[in-house]
């Protein structure tokens, strides 16, 4: 198990008490915080095509949260382009980031449950964890990584605040 799995115990109950809109907001924020947590930066680690696609996707998802009509998000073409990113960019963490975004967008058409929110948060954490290049990942080695600890704490605040 990852440190995130231990630290996130109990979050599902807190998330279940929140509205679907709030869970969507938390999920989108978790992805955004992950992007900000890549070191030295998201832009430095990932291909420009990936950066552009993901940044644009998050802007469009934010627009949907704010009631704007963002055509194309969630379309078959969108998912095809999203899932092709790892074929074009070998950056560590991209597969988990794609999973987080895919789960988020897939839930736009219906309910975003507490479990869906946790899935997005976990994949966002794993994206950053993978990019940290920890030789042997254990909860103890994760605890020694300030970026992993910081990201879990930010996610905890998203859930409990």
User: What is the per-residue pLDDT for 4?
Assistant: 97
pLDDT band per the 50, 70, 90 thresholds, residue 115: very high
Q: Kindly write down the DSSP assignment for every residue of 31-93, as one continuous string.
A: HHHHHHHSSS-HHHHS-HHHHHHHHHHHHHHHHHHTT---TTTTSHHHHHHHHHHHHH---TT
Whether pTM exceeds 0.75: yes
In this predicted structure, what is the pLDDT of residue 54? 98
Share of the chain above pLDDT 70, in %: 99
Q: Is the confidence at residue 67, as pLDDT, over 90?
A: no
Residues in the chain: 161
DSSP line for 91-152: -TTHHHHHHHHHHHHHGGGS---HHHHHHHHHHHHHHHHHHTT-SS--HHHHHT-HHHHHHH
pLDDT at 71 over 90: no
Q: What residue spans define the domains of the chain?
A: 3-160
For 96-111, the pLDDT digits (tens) are 999 999 999 999 888 9
Average pLDDT, the chain: 95
Indicate if the pLDDT at residue 49 is higher than 90: yes
Report the pLDDT value the prediction gives residue 74, as an integer from 0 to 100: 87
Residue 113: is its pLDDT beyond 80? yes
Across the range 4-31, mean pLDDT stands at 97
Give the pLDDT confidence score for residue 69 in this predicted structure.
Answer: 75
Task: Please report the pLDDT score of residue 25 as a whole number.
Answer: 97
């Amino acid at each position: 198990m990852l440190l995130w799995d231990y630290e996130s115990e109990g979050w599902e109950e807190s998330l279940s008490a929140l509205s679907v809109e709030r869970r969507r907001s938390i999920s989108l924020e978790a992805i955004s915080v992950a992007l900000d947590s890549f070191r030295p930066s998201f832009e430095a680690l990932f291909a420009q095509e990936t950066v552009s696609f993901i940044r644009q996707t998050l802007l469009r998802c934010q627009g949907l949260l704010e009631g704007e009509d963002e055509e194309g998000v969630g379309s078959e073409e969108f998912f095809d382009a999203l899932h092709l990113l790892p074929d074009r960019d070998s950056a560590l963490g991209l597969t988990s980031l794609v999973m987080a975004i895919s789960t988020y967008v897939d839930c736009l058409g219906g309910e975003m449950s507490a479990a869906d929110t946790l899935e997005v948060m976990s994949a966002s954490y794993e994206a950053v964890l993978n990019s940290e290049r920890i030789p042997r990942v254990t909860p103890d080695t994760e605890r020694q990584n300030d970026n992993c600890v910081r990201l879990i704490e930010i996610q905890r605040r998203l859930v409990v605040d």
